[in-house]
Structure 1
């Protein structure tokens, strides 16, 4: 008896290759690799081994220290909130997915994660204030429930809003833009309020503008915002913390994503 399993298409293979490479190039693994390499080389090449090991330690410290993380965040984070005057020209609201919680028994199985919820909360507020239709965008790279379907469920059950469009085929930000543009342009919508994290806004805006839409940034959830404020916890503002570590990871993720987009154009 033989079983013919479907082979993944090239786009899917490239998607998972990109994800695998990003794991190696982002914290926490990235600064650990030179430490491991240095320890392995220590016996035969002590000077090189020590240099690599200490460089990994230094790199790890830079990726969690408030002063260096604040600088990284400043490179990528959109600095301004929504421009109220520009928002009057918008025809629709697009909110991007940010992940899911697969184990959420209190919600009946699975739901969106806290990052997606931050975006949905702001999108719901904008929809009520401006009376604009909502498009939710987020797919299912692993073949499970599309994230957009979970987002639509949250909007309906928790905010009493039904999105007009549910785009559930995209796997990344570029596909969010391309597939969302198909729905919006078919409905004559070309000017959008784009809701995503302030850190993610530059890459998302570039992708949606490349897809032919006029983007009015509607960022939310800043991780920077002050001279020493990274992560929003003033009691930890002068010291490395889980907040600075997360902000450093997010900034590196966006810088890597921007570089990948430039190389693939």
Structure 2
């Protein structure tokens, strides 16, 4: 599957819409709109401003963020028994770092690296072929190629397949499925973040690929001993809140598209 420039306007439109619907911009827009309206429509303006403030707090407060993640991170860790029927490992990309001079230009970002690390661990232990999936939204070096380079150089794993044209999770599945089916593979271990697994699995199963979930990098389920630290908002809870909101928005878009 080759890169299709015609897909770029839709990709950037989706990115723009999601930016306006997700934190931190969405709550700030509500607050700003409320303040603009407060002189003429005081009650409406106050309601919008307070709603924006409440949303901003809820999306960083560990208790509410944990509740949001609980509905996403539903798959248990992979076990040796559940992994046994798998025929291949699929690692879904999570983005790239464009400015990485220490790596000679571009490299995978931390999300992708977390997935690659776990995928490599599974590949070493299970001796299954690996597919990596990720394109190039900006038309530069595809994420799939960067994933392949990281696996080979840093983890000693050579992927059998590199899907390098996809721009989102749906296309990860759409473009990966033909590569797998051509090799007779129908059942895979799908490696991605625990919070992303529901959406990724739905996309792959819709293309006729049976998924055995291999989640990694849980954002919720903190150790009970950390209750004092995790009870207050932090940069960690703010990021987890954004990720959870992003995934719920993605699931809503997936349901509306079918």
**TM-score normalised by structure 2 residue count:** 0.95
Match of 1:247 in 2: 240
For the 8 Å contact 1:134–1:165, the answer to whether it is kept is: yes
1:258 aligns with 2:251: yes
Contact 2:75–2:213 under 8 Å retained in 1: no
Match of 2:160 in 1: 164
Task: List runs of 5+ in structure 2 lacking aligned partners.
Answer: none
Q: Distance in 2 between matches of 1:228 and 1:24?
A: 35
Distance (Å, rounded) in 1 between the aligned partners of 2:156 and 2:228: 37
Q: Match of 1:44, SS?
A: coil
Aligned residue for 2:76? 80
The reply on whether 1:140 has 2:140 as its aligned counterpart is no
User: Alpha carbons of 1:8 and 1:139: their partners in 2 closer, same or farther (altered >3 Å)?
Assistant: closer
Query: Are the aligned partners of 1:118 and 1:220 in contact in 2 as well (CA < 8 Å)?
Result: yes
1:146-197 CA distance string (max 9 Å, x none): 0000000000111111100000011110110011111010000111000000
TM-fit CA distance, 1:83: 3.1
Distance 2:253 2:224 in 1: 29
**SS at structure 1 position matched to 2:35:** helix
- Separation (CA, whole Å) in 2 of partners of 1:235 and 1:100: 34
Q: Deviations over 1:19-53 (max 9, x none)?
A: 11100000000111110001111111222211211
TM-score normalised by structure 1 residue count: 0.92
What is the distance in 1 between the residues matched to 2:106 and 2:60?
Answer: 31
CA distance in 2, matches of 1:226, 1:154: 29
SS of the equivalent of 1:76 reads coil
Query: Is residue 176 of structure 1 aligned with residue 143 of structure 2?
Result: no
The residue number in structure 2 matching 1:197 is: 193
Runs (5+) with no aligned partner, structure 1: 1-6
In 2, are the aligned partners of 1:73 and 1:224 still within 8 Å (CA)? yes
* Contact 1:228–1:237, Cα closer than 8 Å, also in 2: no
CA RMSD of aligned residues (A): 1.6
Of 110-119 and 219-228, more deviation after overlay is shown by: 219-228
